[in-house]
Structure formats: C-alpha cells, structure tokens
Structure 1
C-alpha cells in the first residue's frame, strides 16, 4: 500500500478556504468588516511569507465560531460551500485524487485549516480521511479555542504520525508516499515523504523544489 497526502488550500483548491471563510462571514455581516478584513489579509500575507504565528492566527480565526450556534454555522457553511468553495475545485485536482484512488493508495487531506471549515470540503472531494486543526468543542458548540496540536508546519508530521498510530500504521507501512503542497510552510512534511510534489508553489517552495529535483505541477 502507498500513501497519498494532499494539502488543501491553494493545492487541491485554487484558493484558500480559511481566508475565504473569514471573507464570507464579513460579507454575511457576521463579522465587522472594518475590524476583521484588514486583519484577515494581514494573516494571509504572513502565512504566504512563512511568518505566521499559528496560535495568534487561530485565536483570530476560531473565536467567531464561538459567537454563533452550531446550527447557524452549519447553515452558513452550506452557503459557503456553494458560493465560495465549489468554484475553487478544479478538474485536474479531481483527476489527481482519482488516480491515487484507482491505484489503491491511502488518501488523506492534511491541512492547517480547521476541521469545521474543511470536513465538508474533503467530503466534496471524495476523500474520507482528514487531518486538520481541531477547534475545541463543549456540548456540541465551539469554544473559540484550539484543541490539541495545530496541524501546521512540524505539527503536520506529529498529527499525521498520531493518526497513523491510531490506525495501526507507521511510515514503514507504505512502500511509497506522496505529499502535494503549494506552500513553503509544508517543507517539513515534504521532506518526510518519498515523493514530494510542489503544486502551483510559492516562490520559496518552487526554488527549493527545483534545487532538489522535485516535480513541480499545476492543478489550475
């Protein structure tokens, strides 16, 4: 058996679901535009530059979940999927997933974006296994805090290895492993797999891929 890992934002999606979710809430009037839009853009630029403080960002990103009931959030997310996410899923992304599925590979989406935002996206992509940052919940409602280790940078390796252990697997369970990502933030996990692939990469990752003879592809 082989392992196929997929980053989500700007990899399988031609855009960033985390950023789009905050923008969607602003457009719906659930967040104050003046207070949140510039901050959302600032965090996005920090992420792209590899300078994001993940805990500061999660404090910003998860608090809005605690201000609204889960039922209201679910209604908004359904609209969010239709308006913001489905247009970002490319034919080539679906073809790549299908190739690995037909090869019998274990397919996992591994993303820093929280599981409330990403679980329905993984479902829409036909991938049952999701490793994401987990928002804390109490009595079915979000607290605005993170639960456990954020699935970001080296945290992706930790979260993946914990997931494998829970499923009685290790790296040695796989003859080959792939990880598809666009971001310099994913270099730690890209270095762990046998087949790192840069997908529509940022400048830093593209340069690193070219220096190390990693494939560079586009799904756009």
Structure 2
C-alpha cells in the first residue's frame, strides 16, 4: 500500500469537527449569533442532502473566522480540542491509521474542512500530510475572511492526484492506495480510487454511501458501532 487517504468527520471521529468548531465560534460571536447559526444549520442540511454550494459555504466559514483576532482564536481552539475533539479520538481509529503507517503507506488526511481547524486533529492521529481547504492569512497571521482553495467532492480527486504527483508518483499509484470515507459527498474520490484498482472503503457510511458500496462491492467498515455518529 503506497497511500492511505482518510476523511475526518464521521470517518476517523464519530463527530463533525467542523460543526463543533463553528459552534465554538458562534457561542463567542455576540452580534448576529442567531442569524449566523441558522445559516450554518442550513449548510449542514445541504451537505447531508448532497447539494452544498461549497463556494458559499467557504465564504461563510472564512468570514466567521475573520471576526476573531488570531490570539482569541488560538485560545478557543485549545479549549475546543480538549473538550470537543480529544474525547472522540478513539483507539480503534488511531490503530487503523497506525496499521497503514507501519505497513509503509503514506498516510494522508483529506478533508473539506480548513487547515486552521483540522491541522491539530491530524496531529492527534500522527498524520503529517494534510489535504484540506486553505484560508487566506495576512502577513501577521490574522485571517482575511477569504479562502485560497477548497477541497470538497470532485476537488478531492484533483488534490489527491496533485499530492501524489508532488510526491513523485502518478495515478498508477492509486492501484496500491486506499480511501476511507463515511459520506456520499466523497463518492468522486472513492470511485476514482476504485476505478484505478485501489481500495474504496465506506467507513461508518451514510445510507446513500452504504447502498452504493453494496452495489459496487466496496468494503464497508464499521469503526464506531458503539458510538453515536454526530
């Protein structure tokens, strides 16, 4: 196995870190909290229904992020990791990542969430390579409210291939690769890996992905059978 790609939310952790981080910010935003929360909830609904407008969603996330000075964000992130994430980093998921790393695979977290929020979560799993959305920062580290790149649905295919090429490989390496995801939104990359002879693993899959995985004879992995997802 050359590459092992892992989605994050619902795949390696039984919660949605993006929602939890947004709620952390919203609980401190003050003005417009009610309106912003309603907007965030609608984006969650769109995501689950497979009709999320990623450009509008990234605009929302980046503008919310930029409402806070970096110093305050750093403090909130420490609290968020301790209270909302660490309790859900379960040994069974950590061991899965470790198994592929020890087998010689290059382990990569590939998520639609943005770097500032998920980079420390990747570190909790010992994952150094991270493909994710990228916020724009000012020279002093403050966030501008704009985004550089997204990493959702079909864009994951593009970014995964770019990553492999950056590592000196080619699409042929997908034959010795695997991608783990819980969401039908990740069908493009799951299908891309499978079509190249690699392993598509529907991990704690939503109903649509489970049905698709059964039809295509993809592996179905239940990591969190004893833990409620989301």
Counterpart residue number, 1:36: 36
Contact kept, 8 Å, 2:29 with 2:67, in 1: the verdict is no
Counterpart residue number, 1:145: 146
Cα deviation for residue 26 of structure 1 reads 2.2
Structure 1 residues 174 and 196: CA distance shift in structure 2, 3 A:
closer
Cα deviation for residue 63 of structure 1 reads 0.7
Larger mean CA deviation between 27-36 and 37-46 belongs to 27-36
**SS state of the match for residue 143, structure 2?**
strand
Counterpart residue number, 1:105: 105
Rounded Cα–Cα distance in structure 1 between residues aligned with 2:32 and 2:222? 35
Structure 1 residues 49 and 174: CA distance shift in structure 2, 3 A:
closer
5+ residue gaps, structure 2? 225-230
Cα deviation for residue 35 of structure 1 reads 1.5
Q: Give the TM-score normalised by the residue count of structure 1.
A: 0.94
Q: How many residues align?
A: 219
Picking from 194, 205, 208, the partner of 1:204 is 208
Rounded Cα–Cα distance in structure 2 between residues aligned with 1:183 and 1:13? 13
Contact kept, 8 Å, 1:25 with 1:31, in 2: the verdict is no
Larger mean CA deviation between 8-17 and 30-39 belongs to 30-39
Larger mean CA deviation between 196-205 and 33-42 belongs to 33-42
Counterpart residue number, 2:166: 166
**SS state of the match for residue 169, structure 1?**
coil
Contact kept, 8 Å, 2:63 with 2:146, in 1: the verdict is yes
Q: Give the TM-score normalised by the residue count of structure 2.
A: 0.90
Rounded Cα–Cα distance in structure 2 between residues aligned with 1:32 and 1:166? 42
Cα deviation for residue 143 of structure 1 reads 1.0
Counterpart residue number, 2:188: 188
5+ residue gaps, structure 1? none
Rounded Cα–Cα distance in structure 2 between residues aligned with 1:29 and 1:65? 10
Cα deviation for residue 40 of structure 1 reads 1.6
Cα deviation for residue 52 of structure 1 reads 0.3
Structure 1 residues 174 and 184: CA distance shift in structure 2, 3 A:
closer
**SS state of the match for residue 96, structure 1?**
helix
Q: For residues 132-171 of structure 1, what are the alpha-carbon distances to aligned partners after superposition, in whole Å with 9 as ceiling and x for unaligned? A: 00011121221111103x1101100111222222222223
